[in-house]
A = this chain, B = another copy of it.
Amino acid sequence: MNQKMQWLRNKMSSLNLQGMIISNPVNIRYLTNIQAEGILLVTRKENLFITDGRYIEEVHNTLTLFDEIVVYDVRGLSRDDYENFFMFCENVGFEENYVTYAKYKEYMHKYKINNLVETENMLEKQREVKDEEEIENIKKACEITDKCFEYILKYIKPGMTEKQIAREIDDYFYKNAEGKAFETIVASGENSSKPHAVPSERKIKEVDIITIDMGCKINGYCSDMTRTFFVGKMPEHVKLVYNLVLKNQEQVLNDMREGSNTKQISKMVDNDFRLHNYDLIHALGHGVGLDIHEAPVLSINSENVLKENMVITNEPGIYIAGQFGVRIEDTVLINKGSCEALTKSPKGYIVI
């Protein structure tokens, strides 16, 4: 059995779970490499993946004998089969943060389970700490993101639209990686005051401010980076805000290491922003992996302690409605006594 499935079986046994239903496709991919619609069941006797005719061929190509996963076509299963999978299982785990209320009721009925047990994000928590191969994939995605940023700085000219720039970035990621990891943000001028702006037809001016938030995927693993930069020249009134964001972003990099308390770190940034009459209106960061947003959340509302080999973002931002915004974000690898920004694009004033 592969290492991750073996971990799951050990974990289940420590939680007194005799069975487990895994429905979240990202968790299924994490555990098995399978990228197909279907459901993964871990029973007393075996690991099985139930899928349909569209995916049978692909799934068989993905799995090796070593995986010890039996593939079933949903069309070949009877009511009795479903009822037998978890027979004599006292407790069966499920993903209460992924499974809908309707599916929960369906599972109880279909598998005849008496005790469907919440597993409190145990798979998502396990995914927080990356292994060597996962880190390599993220590093590669970050490298490509840096190169894309270098490329795009040369590409951007006044008169281009935000959409056109976003398309160029997407195309770069399509050619050099597995495509974008999320909807690319290109927010210029007053649009930069919206943290989640959608690229528009607004044209870049001779003197302008641009925030780009982008990332790509390698073997399913994501990168995430934001830079705010300037066209023509950097307006004086933006400098104070830029410096404040940058100072905090760098201070956070200084403070992140195994054992750091993310609530404290977020609080520190929030306090410093407030001292200057600004607000940290979104989380300071989030985990990055097979999902672009995954556990842990780094914010003043949640208590988390960083662990070695977590990969997270560090992305303070200040937004002044109707005027402009500044956000600086790196994807960061947590080490024992320090951390390493995996995205390495320059953070000083960039004027193109």
- Which A positions have Cβ atoms within 8 angstroms of B? 35-36, 52-55, 57-58, 94, 96-104, 118, 163, 167, 170-171, 174-175, 193-198, 279, 281-282, 319, 321-322
**Between-chain CB contacts (< 8 Å), 19 pairs:** A35-B198, A52-B282, A53-B195, A53-B282, A54-B194, A54-B281, A55-B196, A57-B193, A57-B321, A58-B196, A58-B197, A94-B101, A96-B100, A96-B102, A98-B100, A101-B103, A102-B118, A167-B171, A171-B171
Nearest CB of B to A93, in Å = 12
A281–B53 touching, CB < 8 Å = yes
State the number of copies, please: 2
Chain B: minimal CB distance from A23 (Å): 10
Taking the closest CB of chain B, its distance from the CB of A290, in whole angstroms, is: 16
Chain B residues, CB < 8 A from A171: 167, 171
B96 close to A97 (CB less than 8 A): no
Give complex CA distance A270, B171 in Å. Answer: 40
Interchain CB contact under 8 A, B101 and A194: no
Chain B residues whose C-beta falls within 8 Å of the C-beta of A57 in the assembled complex: 193-194, 321-322
Task: Give the chain B neighbours of A174 by CB distance below 8 A.
Answer: 163, 167, 170
Residues of B within 8 A of A55 (CB): 196
The residue on B at minimum CB distance from A105 is B96
Q: Which of B54, B163, B167 contacts A282 (CB 8 A)?
A: B54
A103: chain B residues within 8 A (beta carbon): 97, 101
- CA of A35 to CA of B100, assembled, Å: 22
Of the residues B101, B175, B279, contact of A100 by C-beta under 8 Å: B101
What are the residues of chain B within 8 A of A101 when measuring CB–CB?
94, 96-97, 99-101, 103-104, 118
Top 6 nearest A-B pairs (CB, nearest first) are A53-B281, A54-B195, A96-B102, A101-B104, A96-B101, A97-B102
The distance in angstroms between the C-alpha atoms of A36 and B196, with both chains bound, is 9
Is the pair B281, A52 in contact by a Cβ cutoff of 8 Å?
Answer: yes
- Given A58-B194, A175-B167: A279 and B53 interface contact (C-beta under 8 Å): yes
- Beyond the given pairs A54-B281, A57-B194, A97-B102, 12 more chain A to chain B contacts, judged by CB atoms under 8 angstroms and listed by A's residue number, are A52-B282, A53-B195, A53-B279, A54-B194, A54-B196, A57-B322, A96-B100, A97-B101, A98-B100, A99-B101, A167-B171, A167-B174
